[in-house]
Amino acid sequence: MSVTGSDIKRVTTHTLQAMKERGEKIAMLTAYDFSMARILDEAGIDVLLVGDSASNVMAGHETTLPITLDQMIYHAQSVVRAVHRAMVVVDMPFGTYQANSEIALKSAIRIMKEAGAHAVKLEGGAEVEESIRRILMAGIPVMGHLGLTPQSIYKFGTYTVRAREEAEAQKLRDDARLLDELGCFALVLEKIPAQLAKEVSENIDIPTIGIGAGQHTDGQVLVTHDMLGITKGFHPRFLRRYLELFDLIQTATRQYIQDVKERRFPNESEQY
Ligand code: KIV
């Protein structure tokens, strides 16, 4: 991807690598629909992640496990339609890459072909090595995801910080190196100690993008609905809320209801 029809230069895997090399931080947010993606893209976000967190945020499920490949493709199509500059990365949902590398490749091809995505993201290290290899061989860029991997929530049993123990920290270091060597273009590090994230970021060539992984990763990602305060009752330490949209939208809605009930909306200038 180079220059598009307009003068806007698209963010690519090469852009992100160059950003790491010159020490410029990468800003990534989630998006699941056209309207939000348009706002975030025009604001200058570098990467939009069509995260499987759509399962929680958009569909109201307790975990990311239920969302399907068809549903992810629907969300991704809407985001891709809105975007002129950002790189659009799409999560491979649970069950679409773990069984074997052939299924993984077919799933990744559907995401690229039907959604027009620019890359896929999947969770795990050595366990999914063959799937990553095969997807990369087809020319599809892959973003890795280590640390807290929400698709494995029933194995972990909790959403607390990962890799505090040395054995798990060492596996994470090894997996990060493996993903780098395989040819992934970037790596999400979720909810791990800041010192470990720093060490990993300094020891691999590709950019790391942290969520709850401290200030030393090459970029940061948040779930947009958390960052804007649309979600309710979720206050982990790593989350900075830039707005309280839940309250603002509710106040506006109450005002609208009152205006309708009390015949203040529509007024004469708001009718034909
Ligand atoms: O699905 C998602 O939103 C994610 C981010 C938390 C990185 O994977």
**Residue carrying the six token digits 């990311």:** 64
163 shares a domain with 177:
yes
Query: Do the beta carbons of residue 73 and residue 31 sit within 8 Å?
Result: no
126 shares a domain with 253:
no
Residues 98-136 have pLDDT tens digits of 999 999 999 999 999 999 999 999 999 999 999 999 999
Range of the domain at 263: 245-272
Q: Which CATH number belongs to the domain containing residue 33 in this structure?
A: 3.20.20.60
- Which of 28, 33, 40, 52 should be mutated for ligand 1, with most atoms under 8 A from CB? 52
pLDDT score of 245 more than 90:
yes
The count of structural domains within the chain is 2
pLDDT value at residue 67 = 98
What is the C-alpha separation between 32 and 241, in angstroms, rounded? Answer: 19
The three-point CA angle 118-121-127 to 5° equals 145
CB neighbour burial string for 15-35, b if at least 16 within 10 angstroms, e if fewer: bbeebbeeeeebbbbbbbbbe
169 shares a domain with 250:
no
pLDDT value at residue 219 = 99
125 shares a domain with 90:
yes
186 shares a domain with 254:
no
Ligand 1 atom nearest 222 alpha carbon: 6
pLDDT score of 263 more than 90:
yes
Nearest-CA residue for ligand 1 atom 4 is 51
255 shares a domain with 237:
no
Nearest-CA residue for ligand 1 atom 8 is 51
Amino acid identity, residue 202?
E
154 shares a domain with 22:
yes
Residues near 40 by beta carbon (within 8 Å), at least 6 away in sequence = 29, 31, 48, 86, 224
List, chain by chain if needed, residues with CB within 6 Å of any ligand 1 atom.
Answer: 30, 49, 51-53, 91, 188, 190, 211, 221, 223
56 shares a domain with 109:
yes
How many A from CA of 92 to the centre of ligand 1? Answer: 11
Segment 244-256 shows an average pLDDT of: 98
How many A from CA of 29 to the centre of ligand 1? Answer: 9
Ligand 1 atom nearest 121 alpha carbon: 8
Amino acid identity, residue 207?
P
269 shares a domain with 158:
no
Work out the pLDDT band at 7, boundaries 50, 70, 90: confident
255 shares a domain with 142:
no
Work out the pLDDT band at 5, boundaries 50, 70, 90: low
How many A from CA of 7 to the centre of ligand 1? Answer: 30
Strand partners, 170: none
131 shares a domain with 152:
yes
249 shares a domain with 236:
no
Other C-beta atoms closer than 10 Å to the C-beta of 74 total 16
How many A from CA of 234 to the centre of ligand 1? Answer: 15
pLDDT score of 14 more than 60:
yes
- Which of 29, 58, 64, 149 should be mutated for ligand 1, with most atoms under 8 A from CB? 64
User: Which residues form the catalytic set?
Assistant: 190
Ligand 1 atom nearest 123 alpha carbon: 8
Kindly give the residue spans of alpha helices, DSSP state H, lying in the chain.
Answer: 13-22, 34-43, 54-57, 69-82, 101-115, 129-137, 153-156, 166-182, 194-203, 224-227, 245-261
Ligand 1 atom nearest 188 alpha carbon: 7
Nearest-CA residue for ligand 1 atom 1 is 51
Round the average pLDDT of the chain to a whole number and report it.
97
pLDDT value at residue 3 = 41
pLDDT value at residue 244 = 97
How many A from CA of 134 to the centre of ligand 1? Answer: 23
Residues 36-65 have pLDDT tens digits of 999 999 999 999 999 999 999 999 999 999
